[in-house]
Structure 1
Amino acid sequence: MTTLADPVPGGRPGDLERASALSGELSGAGVHGIVLSYVDTAGVGRVKTVPATGLASAVAWGVGMSPVFDTFLANDHIVTTDVLGSPDGDLRLYPDLDRLVALAGQPGWAWAPVDRLTQDGERHPGCSRTFLRRIVADAARDHDLAFRAAIEIEWTVGLDSAPAGEFVPATTGPAYGATRMVELSEYTADLLAACEAQGVTVDQIHPEYAPGQFEISVGALDPVAAADRSVLVRQTIRAVARRHGLRVSFSPAVAAEGVGNGGHVHLSAWRDGRNLHSGGERRHGLTAEAESFAAGVLARLPALTAVTAPSPASYLRLRPSQWAGVFTAWGLETRESALRLVRGTTGRRGEQANLEVKPVDLAANPYLLLGCLIAAGLDGLAARAALPEEITGDPARLAAEEAAAKGVRRLPTSLARAVEEFRADAVLRAALGPVLADAVTAVRQGEIDATYGLDDAQVAAAYRWVY
C-alpha cells in the first residue's frame, strides 16, 4: 500500500534512517545509482538520477528540477501557460521509499517514483502523482472508498538492427500464435524473471494481434502504486529488450494502419474490504454506488479522451471495430464498448469484478489517467447517476435511431475535438486544478500544432519511438 502522506523537507519521522539503511543495502548489492522517475504531461517518462549513497539526502531535501518539464511536448519542444513553461523557478523531487526497487533489467541501478514540491515545501500544483494521491485520499475521507487498479500494457517488438526510425517486427508468427512465443522465448522468459525479481505480480503475458505485438497483464494495486507499476514495467520491458538486440514501442500507433497499442485500465471501488462491483442488486451484480461510479465515467468519456488518448497518434488507434472502445457505450464483457463490465469467474467475482476502460493508450500519463477516471466516477456517485441501456455486439452496427436511444455516440475522432470536450468539462478541470488543467490543454494543443499538415504515416512515424 502506497503512503498517501506528502513528503516533508527534512524528511518525515524515520525517513532518513530508513533511507540510510536502504542505501547501504543497495550499495552492498552492487547498485550504484537510483533513477528518480516522473511522467510529464505529454506522457513521456523523464528521469533524474543520484548515486545510491545520495538517497538519504534526496529523501530529506529532494533533487532539483525545473518546472518547465510540465509543458514539454513529446518532441521536447516547450509550450507555455500563464504560470508554466518559463525558464524561471525550481522544484524538488522527493523519492518514495515505499516504491524503491532494484532494477533487474538494468543491473547497477534502482528505481523510485517521485513527488514534486516547491522550494517552499508546498505541493507543486503541476505534479500528476501528487494529484492522484490527493484524489485517492479525498475519496477515502469523503466517501470511505478505496480503489484497486491495473493498467494493461501492449507493446510491439522490433529489431534494433532495423534502419533508423523504421519498425521491423522481431517475430513472424501469427496473432496470438505460439510461434511468436517460441521466437522470443528467451526475451519473454527474462522479462518474467525481471518482473518477479522486482516484486511485480504478472497475471499473464501473451502475443497480441498486431505484427510483433505482445501484452502483459499485472496484478491490481492501489491507484498510485498501479500507476507506479505501469511506469516500472514499461522501463523493464524496454531494458530487457535492449539486452536481446530488440527495440520496443508503446506508441498508440506504430504504423498508420492496423491495430495499435492499448493501455486498458481495470478499476474497482472498495469499502471495508468489499468490492462494490460484485454482489449488489443492480444489473450484473453491481451495487448502486458502483453503477453510479461507472455512469460517471461513461458520461465524461468524451472529455476524458484528452487524458486517456493524449497523442495525435492515439486517433490512428481509436477506430471502430478494432476493440478500442470508441463509442460511449457499456456492456457485460463487451469488448467493443468503451466501458466493459468484467464480472470475473464464478467463485472469485467478489475479488475479480471491475470496470475496464478501453479507449486508453500508453501515451497517457498514468497518474493523470487514473486520477481523472476516479474524479469522473466520484462525480457520478455524488449525482447518483444511473447507467443507460447496455449494448451487446459492436455499437458501430447500431442504426442511428437505436444508437441515439441508448446514448451511444462516437468519441472524439481527433485530439483537437477531445481538447474541446476537455475545455468544456468543469468537473475534470476542477479536479485537476487550474495549473494542471491548463498544462494539459497547452501540451495537447502543442501536439496538434506540431503535427499540423502531416498525413497518417508521418504522424505514426513522429511518435513511433517516443513512447
Structure 2
Amino acid sequence: MDATVDTQWRKEQRRRAQARANALLEEGVDGVALSYVDNAGVTRVKAVPVARLPHAAAWGVGMSPVFDVFCVDDSITAGRLAGGPAGDLRLHPDLDRLVRLAGQPGWAWAPVDRFTQDGREHPGCQRSFARRAADRAAAAGLDVRMGFEIEWVVGSDTGGGPGADFAAACRGPAYGMTRMVELGDYCRDLLTALAEQSVEVLQLHPEYAAGQFELSAAPLAPVAAADQVLLVRETVRAVSRRHGMEATFAPVVVAGAVGNGQHLHLSLRRDGVNLLADGPGRYGITAVGESFLAGILGALPALTAILAPSVPSHLRLVPSTWAGAYRCWGRENREAALRLVTGSTGETREAANAEVKCLDASANPYLVVGAVLDVGLAALDAGLVLPEEVPGDPAALAPGDLERLGVERLPRSVAEALDHLDASELLTDALGEYLCDAFTAVRRAEAALFADRTPAEVVAATRWRY
C-alpha cells in the first residue's frame, strides 16, 4: 500500500470508528469484542475498550499467527508453513458489521480481517478467503445470497469429568409446542435480541434431538452470511446463559443421538434471473445454475474436509438422520447432501435455492462460503449436468442402484476427507499454500488426538467447544 494512501486510509478508519465509538458510549457500551473463527472451528477473540476502537480500526489489534494451528482442545500443532511463537498479526474490525450486542449488555461486536504488520492481507485469513471467492462470483455477474440453518442444544452436564452425561433443559417432544411453552420466555428474549441487532429471523423451532432448536436467518451476501453465523451463535450463547442454561452447537451432543447441523442455503441470480427457477431444465433450473450445482456435487468428497471437518462431524454424518451422508441430489430430499428447494407454487422464482446439508458448526463458516463458491464458479460455464436425482433415502437403495446412479457415501473420517482435499487441485489452489497447510495440520492433529477415544469420549471432550 502506498504510504500516502495508507495514511489517508488510517485517518478515515479512525474518523469512522470515533463516530461509532461515541454512539456506543451513549448507548452504555464499554467494550468491543473482535472475533474470527480459527481452523478448528473455534471462535477466538480480542476485546478493546470502546475508547480504544479508533486506534484498533486504524492500526489493528495484535494477535499471534500461532492461533492458525490451535486445535479444538487448545493444544498447538504445526504445519510446514504455520506454527511457532514468532511473528504478529493485526486484527482490523469491519466497522460496517459493528453492532451493539443486545444479549450482552455493555458490549459490542465486530468481525475482523487479519493483516500482517506491514499491511498485507494475511494468507491465513479465512474471511479474506471468503471475500475473494465472493468477489469472483460478482465478477462473473452472479448475485449470490447465502443463509445458514443454525442448530443448537440447551442443557448442562450432569456430574463432572470426561464421562459426564448431558441433561437437556426441556422435556418436550421433537418439533413440539410443549418445548416452546417450556422455554417460551427464552425463545422470546432470543428473538428480541436478534431483532435489536438487525438480524432478520425467518423461523425458530424445536428440532429433533432433546433440547434442540433451530434458527434460520435471512440470506445475505456470502461474507455477511458467515458474519451473521458468528453473531447469531454468540447471541444464542449469551441469552441461554441469562436464562441459566448452556448452549452447544457441537456436531454431536450425546453419542449415538442426532446431532447439530449448520446447513447452508444458497441462491443464484444473474441479470435478475433466478438460475435455479427461471430456466428450461428440470424444475426450472437454468443451464448455468445446473452447472454450478453439478460442480458442488462433484466436489463434495473434497468439500467434506471443510464442511464436516472434525472427528465428531463424522459421528453425526450418518445415513437416515437427515445429515446428508450420501453424495447425491434431489428435490426436497433431506437425505441428499445437495437438496433442491423449489418453494411453493407461485413463489418459486423468489424462493428456489439449493441446500448443502453435510456441514456442521465445527466448520469455519468463512471457509464453507469460500469453498462452496469456488467449486461452483469453477464449473459455472463448463456445461456440467446433474445426474439422475435420488427421490428418497439412498440408504434404502440396493448396491446396484447406488452404482447406477453414481451415489456414494461421503468420506467417513477426517483422514479420508483430507485425502480427497489434498487431491483437489482446485480447492488447494483456492485456499493457497499457507491456509491449506494450517487447516490440514489442525485437522490431522485432531484426528490423532481422538484416534483412540470412544465416541462417548469424543463427544464429552468436544461438547462445549463449539
Aligned-pair CA distance for 1:166: 4.0
Q: Where does structure 2 lack aligned partners over 5 or more consecutive residues?
A: none
1:294 maps to 2:293: yes
Q: Are the counterparts in 1 of residues 291 and 376 from structure 2 also a CA contact under 8 Å?
A: yes
- Between stretches 269-278 and 407-416, larger displacement belongs to 269-278
Partner in structure 1 of residue 392 of structure 2: 393
Which aligned pairs between 1:7-22 and structure 2 lie closer than 5 A? Answer: 11=9, 14-22=12-20
Aligned-pair CA distance for 1:82: 2.0
Q: Are the counterparts in 1 of residues 157 and 165 from structure 2 also a CA contact under 8 Å?
A: no
Which aligned pairs between 1:28-427 and structure 2 lie closer than 5 A? Answer: 28-141=26-139, 143-159=140-156, 163=160, 166-427=165-426
The separation in 2 between residues aligned to 1:389 and 1:299, in whole angstroms, is 13
The separation in 2 between residues aligned to 1:103 and 1:387, in whole angstroms, is 43
The separation in 1 between residues aligned to 2:308 and 2:94, in whole angstroms, is 27
Q: Are the counterparts in 1 of residues 148 and 216 from structure 2 also a CA contact under 8 Å?
A: yes
Q: Are the counterparts in 2 of residues 9 and 62 from structure 1 also a CA contact under 8 Å?
A: no
Give identity over the alignment, percent: 55
How high is the TM-score relative to the length of structure 2?
A: 0.96
Residue identity opposite 1:461 in structure 2: A
Q: Are the counterparts in 1 of residues 340 and 355 from structure 2 also a CA contact under 8 Å?
A: yes
Residue identity opposite 2:407 in structure 1: V
- Between stretches 421-430 and 340-349, larger displacement belongs to 340-349
Aligned-pair CA distance for 1:400: 1.3
Q: Are the counterparts in 2 of residues 11 and 61 from structure 1 also a CA contact under 8 Å?
A: no
Q: Matched residue pairs, number?
A: 460
The separation in 2 between residues aligned to 1:309 and 1:277, in whole angstroms, is 25
How high is the TM-score relative to the length of structure 1?
A: 0.96
CA shift digits 1:207-242 (9 cap, x unpaired): 000011100010000010000000110000000000
Q: SS where residue 379 of structure 2 aligns?
A: helix
Q: Are the counterparts in 1 of residues 11 and 58 from structure 2 also a CA contact under 8 Å?
A: no
CA shift digits 1:340-376 (9 cap, x unpaired): 0001122322221111000010110000011001111
Aligned-pair CA distance for 1:304: 0.5
CA shift digits 1:219-267 (9 cap, x unpaired): 0000100000001100000000000100111000011111100000001
Q: SS where residue 268 of structure 2 aligns?
A: strand
- Between stretches 152-161 and 36-45, larger displacement belongs to 152-161
**Cα gap change, 1:254/1:182 in structure 2, threshold over 3 Å: closer, same or farther?**
same
Aligned-pair CA distance for 1:162: 6.2
Q: Are the counterparts in 1 of residues 103 and 238 from structure 2 also a CA contact under 8 Å?
A: yes
Q: SS where residue 220 of structure 2 aligns?
A: coil
Partner in structure 2 of residue 440 of structure 1: 439
Q: Where does structure 1 lack aligned partners over 5 or more consecutive residues?
A: 1-6
Q: Are the counterparts in 1 of residues 31 and 108 from structure 2 also a CA contact under 8 Å?
A: yes
The separation in 1 between residues aligned to 2:57 and 2:272, in whole angstroms, is 32
Q: Once superposed, what is the RMSD of the aligned Cα atoms? A: 1.5
